[in-house]
Chains A and B, each alone.
Chain A
Amino acid sequence: KAGVTQTPRYLIKTRGQQVTLSCSPISGHRSVSWYQQTPGQGLQFLFEYFSETQRNKGNFPGRFSGRQFSNSRSEMNVSTLELGDSALYLCASSLPQWAGGPNEQFFGPGTRLTVL
């Protein structure tokens, strides 16, 4: 079974630009979560999508947004990039909550975003 895939793996942008990152979950997984990882703030939850609906959102400004498609693939968008947005963005997929049990999340390799 293929794992979580994220594209692109590396991205360089300049301040003020916007960026879109893509995530394809494991087949059969319908829940997708996004996390930001930085040396200063560590791993922080951005948002979670299930059945094309945002179910949960972390404490990030409105410049960070996401969506999920009917095939469970997800994208996240960051508008008006700032230097502080440089980070590793990780996507994770998991079985839906109604499947029961803990939310074991399977992570992709991440997208390394550098903002210049």
Chain B
Amino acid sequence: AQSVTQLGSHVSVSEGALVLLRCNYSSSVPPYLFWYVQYPNQGLQLLLKYTSAATLVKGINGFEAEFKKSETSFHLTKPSAHMSDAAEYFCAVSQDTGRRALTFGSGTRLQVQP
């Protein structure tokens, strides 16, 4: 079984401040990990993915995430928030078992204050 926990359903930061969105996973086998972003009335867009090639993963729009096996974490960060980053962010996990099903966290809504 696998699960994902996102700490903090709402995070508010000032424009230019560090963004840190937390994700912890539970998986019985080495996982694949993803961060997706969802803007209002839109589908999900992939920000980045962890595939075991490197523990620090860089994604689009200046986001990056670090896989820490000892902490079972995959937190998402961005050094400087922009107003356009305001959206909902989802962490997801899957396993290399041939199945495509993603297990999502409950999501974190990011607000960026001017």
- Interface residues in chain A, defined as those with a beta carbon under 8 Å from any beta carbon in chain B: 4, 31, 33, 35, 42-45, 48, 50, 55-56, 58, 90, 92, 94, 97, 101-110
Chain B: minimal CB distance from A74 (Å): 13
Closest residue to A102 on the B side, CB-wise? B32
- Interface residues in chain B, defined as those with a beta carbon under 8 Å from any beta carbon in chain A: 32, 34, 36, 41-46, 49, 51, 90, 92, 94, 96, 98-107
Q: Do A104 and B46 have beta carbons less than 8 Å apart?
A: yes
Q: Do A48 and B32 have beta carbons less than 8 Å apart?
A: no
Closest residue to A109 on the B side, CB-wise? B43
Q: Do B100 and A103 have beta carbons less than 8 Å apart?
A: yes
Q: Do B43 and A108 have beta carbons less than 8 Å apart?
A: yes
Chain B: minimal CB distance from A38 (Å): 11
Knowing A45-B101, A90-B43 are in contact, say whether A102-B96 is a contact too (CB < 8 A).
Answer: yes
Chain A: minimal CB distance from B106 (Å): 5
Q: How far apart sit A94 and B45, CA to CA, in the bound complex (Å)? A: 13
Q: Do A43 and B104 have beta carbons less than 8 Å apart?
A: yes
With a cutoff of 8 Å between Cβ atoms, the chain B residues found around residue A55 in the complex are 99-100
Q: Out of A43, A56, A90, A109, which one reaches B99, CB within 8 Å?
A: A56
Q: Do B49 and A42 have beta carbons less than 8 Å apart?
A: no
- Beyond A50-B100, A102-B32, A109-B42, 18 additional contacts (C-beta under 8 Å) are A33-B101, A35-B102, A42-B106, A43-B92, A43-B104, A48-B99, A48-B101, A55-B99, A56-B101, A92-B44, A97-B98, A97-B100, A104-B46, A104-B49, A107-B43, A108-B43, A109-B43, A110-B43
